[in-house]
Amino acid sequence: MEIIRFKNSDMKEIIELFYETVHSINARDYSPAQLDVWAPKDEQVRKEQLWLESLRNNISYVARMNGIIVGFVDMSHSGYLDRLYIHKDFQRQGIASALVNAIESEAQKLTLKELSVEASITAKSFFMNRGYQIVQQQNMERKGVTLVNFKMIKQLR
């Protein structure tokens, strides 16, 4: 596995990974209606345009194995870990840890004091195991559907 900086040409593969992962892996913690508002199929083109700008402005990495993107992560320059998604067929192989290690290393170089994330129910335990603490549970509403996530922070040395 290699961890490399995001390139514009990664975008289509990233969007596909996001939709497939949300609708399969997160299905154990969220209802079909919640998954549909989290990752609506009819917004893929719009999301691709919005995310391209965001991923270019943030510190963004992809993980590749045998030429395939198996995960991605991005963080704002102020320490907000915006997205972390691992391909549905490559879960529990250390990819998320490798990506977050890269982001936390960048945060140290920026001398940030803390990182924050809004973690899904599915990702909450991963972040807790890495030293992130829950600040609060959040009920986010999208198109009349409530999604639960957790605002979490990690103090950096």
Structure tokens at 84: 């972390």
Q: Could you give the CA distance from residue 100 to residue 117 in angstroms, rounded to a whole number?
A: 11
The CATH-assigned architecture of domain 2-112 is 3-Layer(aba) Sandwich (3.40)
Split the chain (157 residues) into runs of 10 and give each run's mean pLDDT. 95 93 91 88 78 94 96 97 95 96 95 96 95 94 86 94
- Whether the pTM exceeds 0.95: the reply is no
Q: Could you give the CA distance from residue 16 to residue 8 in angstroms, rounded to a whole number?
A: 14
* Residue boundaries of the structural domains of the chain: 2-112
